[in-house]
Structure 1
């Protein structure tokens, strides 16, 4: 694996959050927010109210910018996110998860925790010069982000649906000739 377990999980959660803004938007209700929170295995406080939902929706564009930035452009974004949250990295262990880094308290707002966790994960991405593992879906009709954690760097689509759509289109194009 290219990244530690917690880094890969944080990057995947950030990509899922960013991609929730794609058509159709899948983060429109507090129930959607709760499903995201549970599905990504977050711990700590979840207010689950409209204000938290709007904060999460607002975070998506910042994370998209960060995840698609060049290495040098990502650094000031990461530093600003960590500074704004007054991040203080600490090793923690909870539930079935072994030692990993939390840089913000679990009682802080969810959008702040996700911003800091993503920034911490991006530190690993930047330090290992692995930004090529992040990109935009190869489906021309999709703007979703792709996190490629495969060994051979072969992931091109954000979802199975986009990959299948491209395969069907390629098949039809071959049949037409």
Structure 2
């Protein structure tokens, strides 16, 4: 299977040989015809809608994203998660805590999964150590039930 890829300015076309049969003798003719069509179509491009409205909306949305502290966009189905070091782990877990993840008791595996959904990959051992240190420093509360350890945000005592 061969691919033909032509690019002219912003326009690009790619054709797989499984779409139709092209032999070596007709290949130059096919490329010449595609190039001619690509040049013709690039001259006649007219948008059906106003691009300025979309551009303004996009710029406004980008302004909102820039206002957010440490804004990160991650689409787990399209990108691979990035590894985080044990030194970075406490700050990432604090971000989860600020987002209310530890409002109810969570296990280490749930925390690892939540980190993965945010685009970060960490070893369960490192997460366990970090959560234990946070519990020791009284940043999180640690409870055990049925041989499972749970971590949750401490509820403030009201006097």
Report which of the two has the higher share of strand: 2
TM-score, scaled relative to structure 1: 0.23
| Larger Rg belongs to | 2
TM-score, scaled relative to structure 2: 0.25
Larger relative contact order (Cα-Cα within 8 Å, sequence gap ≥ 6): 1
Report which of the two has the higher share of helix: 1
